Structure 1
Amino acid sequence: MFVIFGATGQVGRASATALRRAGHPVRAVLHDGGQTAAPAEALAAIGCEIAHADLNDAAAVARAIDGAHAVQWLCPVPRAHDDPAAAMRHTIDAGVAAFRAAPPPRLLALSDYGAEHADGTGITTRFHYLETRLCGVPASLTFLRAAEHMHNWARVLPVALERGVLPSLHHPLDKRFPTVAARDVGELAAALLLDAEPARATPRIVSIEAEQRVSALDVARTLADLSGRPVAAHAVPRDQWSAVLRGAGLGERHAQLIVDLYDAHNAGRIDVEANASERRFGVTRLEEVLGALLSRTAGAEAATRNVH
């Protein structure tokens, strides 16, 4: 049995789909609370067993992994929480307690570029904490560190299309940075769970990004080409970051974590750890992801017009 936490997310869904396509049994674990039935129904339709678990409850996590041959685990970033760093720490501690009590033979944890740094990287420090805590679990352990997800640009897509301006915290605008499609992360995670490599004394660290790095200018040009509308990248002034993030709905502590993250990004600290990981490259191109996002945005706009 392969147990996939966060199976309704883009990465988890891709992993579950790949494993089911290969004929393996999959238990898709959904977070308790706030979810509609549709994601569970879609997973059940491809043959997944559906389970629900409170990720902050070690006993619930332990029940979810009962009988697992391999587990894919993530700690979600709680966008709406007043103190997301503390909330993530709590979730990580609960998961680690469950894994130590009943370790699965194979455990893959989804992590981030920059997780090797103990401080100074904002929200990514929580993934350093995750990796550090998991090192005490007696399992064949893999950390899959992913670059920034391409679909993160969805957050500013409506603004870019409406105003012709793509706001960016990546400075300078022509600086190329690593990025990756969630689908490629999920499919690689599934492949690693199936990998028959012998157990190691230390965790296996694998990094993934797209074959080509991009800049904010590249993103703006691609959006313009795909949408047929003028879109220009705009570097949000550093002293406005916090206000912009809070205006987008983040709390004060969460906004500061993102400010610290992009300071680290712009200083070149969010990257592949030198000589410490296996490097893999996703095949999905930026224009494919942005094209899909644009299609969804257009569909949502059409639905809104029909309602009114």
Structure 2
Amino acid sequence: MHIILGGTGHIGKSLCKELLAQGEEILVITHNPDNITEIKATGADVAVTDVLDTNRLQGIIKRGKRLYLLNPPAAPYTDTAAEERKSLESILAALEGAGLERIVAQSTYGAQHGNAIGDLGVLYEMEEALKAMPVPVSIIRGAYYYSNWDASLDTARTEGEVYSFYPPDFKLPMADPADIGKFAAQLLTAEGMASNLTYFTGPQDYSPNDVAAAFAEALGKPVTVVQIPEDEWEESLIKVGFSEVAAQSMVNMTKITLEQKYEQPDAPQRGSTTITEYIKALVGVDATEAK
């Protein structure tokens, strides 16, 4: 049995679909009872718990032998790093003595030691803690998710504009979360694999200009990039609901990416889905749901 902690997001749904197609048994952990019906409809089993309930979480994890771990993202209106450290601490405690034979953990490009750098610091701490455990661990450092651009569909459609903290021509590693999910399924079902760390990105790096061009092609109208000046980053985040501390962390993470102050792999694992294919699917799904 595969235990999936983080099975309701873009990566998790792709992972579950892939495992179920292979005839694997999976159990999805969710904190939201409203997800039960949808999860069971896929053929997966489901368990509802708060990840902060360490004892119950451990009991659920013990029902399987292999675990996919995605530390739940905290709501942006909170102190996100503090909240994510709380959930991570509970998860790590639940793993002690759980009897797992393999863990596949979701991390990110740019994970590194540091303060006030949000996910980059929290996920690095996760990586280091998992490496110390007596069980093979596969860590996936995923590139910037294509799905981060989902929220741009509305402005692309209504204003013909995509807003970005990055310069229009700044290229960075990006990946389709569904491709990451498929890769995670490969790692979960692999036999005899030692601990490893893999960078995962798309078929090529993309810029905000590339994203705008993808929206333009999918929508059949011109779409341009509007760069938000650095001195407006924090204010713009707070306006859309970020707490001050979460906004500061996001600003610092953005600077690390922009200044490329992170380890960059020579030969990352690459998915096949292009940004154009992803945006076309996004626009198609949105149009279907609007009918």
Q: Same fold (TM over 0.5)?
A: yes
The amino acid that maps onto 1:207 is Y
From 246, 251, 257, give the equivalent of 1:265: 257
The answer to whether the aligner puts 1:287 opposite 2:276 as a matched pair is yes
**Deviation (angstroms), 1:124:** 1.4
Contact 1:81 1:87 in 2 (8 A): no
Contact 2:199 2:269 in 1 (8 A): yes
The answer to whether the aligner puts 1:189 opposite 2:184 as a matched pair is yes
- The corresponding residue for 2:175 is 180
Q: How many residues align?
A: 291
Question: SS of 2:43's equivalent?
Answer: coil
The answer to whether the aligner puts 1:92 opposite 2:88 as a matched pair is yes
- The corresponding residue for 2:213 is 221
- The corresponding residue for 1:36 is 34
Distance in 2 separating the partners of 1:166 and 1:235: 8
The amino acid that maps onto 2:173 is P
Relative to 1, partners in 2 of residues 1:217 and 1:286: Cα closer, same or farther, differing over 3 Å? same
Contact 1:150 1:289 in 2 (8 A): yes
Distance in 2 separating the partners of 1:101 and 1:69: 12
* Unmatched 5+ stretches in structure 2: none
- The corresponding residue for 2:247 is 255
Distance in 2 separating the partners of 1:144 and 1:89: 19
- The corresponding residue for 1:3 is 3
Higher mean Cα deviation, 60-69 or 232-241? 60-69
**Deviation (angstroms), 1:279:** 2.4
Contact 1:103 1:137 in 2 (8 A): no
From 105, 112, 117, give the equivalent of 1:109: 105
TM-superposition CA deviations, 1:275-298 (whole Å, max 9, x none)? xxx721101111121112222333
Relative to 1, partners in 2 of residues 1:132 and 1:187: Cα closer, same or farther, differing over 3 Å? same
Distance in 1 separating the partners of 2:234 and 2:128: 29
**Deviation (angstroms), 1:60:** 2.0
TM-superposition CA deviations, 1:217-249 (whole Å, max 9, x none)? 111111111101221111110001111111222
- The corresponding residue for 2:25 is 25
**Deviation (angstroms), 1:69:** 1.5
The answer to whether the aligner puts 1:205 opposite 2:197 as a matched pair is yes
The answer to whether the aligner puts 1:52 opposite 2:48 as a matched pair is yes
**Deviation (angstroms), 1:272:** 3.1
From 115, 138, 142, give the equivalent of 1:142: 138
Question: SS of 1:224's equivalent?
Answer: helix
The amino acid that maps onto 1:291 is K
The amino acid that maps onto 1:84 is T
Distance in 1 separating the partners of 2:252 and 2:153: 23
The answer to whether the aligner puts 1:230 opposite 2:219 as a matched pair is no
Percent sequence identity is 27
Contact 1:116 1:273 in 2 (8 A): no
TM-superposition CA deviations, 1:153-174 (whole Å, max 9, x none)? 012221222112211112x321
- The corresponding residue for 1:243 is 235
Question: SS of 2:29's equivalent?
Answer: strand
The answer to whether the aligner puts 1:132 opposite 2:124 as a matched pair is no
Distance in 2 separating the partners of 1:54 and 1:178: 33
**Deviation (angstroms), 1:205:** 0.2
The amino acid that maps onto 1:7 is G
* Unmatched 5+ stretches in structure 1: 304-308
Normalising by the residue count of structure 2, what TM-score does the alignment of the two structures yield? 0.94
Distance in 2 separating the partners of 1:244 and 1:156: 15
**Deviation (angstroms), 1:92:** 0.5
Relative to 1, partners in 2 of residues 1:221 and 1:107: Cα closer, same or farther, differing over 3 Å? same
**Deviation (angstroms), 1:61:** 1.5
Contact 1:5 1:73 in 2 (8 A): yes
Contact 1:112 1:145 in 2 (8 A): yes
Contact 1:178 1:271 in 2 (8 A): no
- The corresponding residue for 1:306 is none
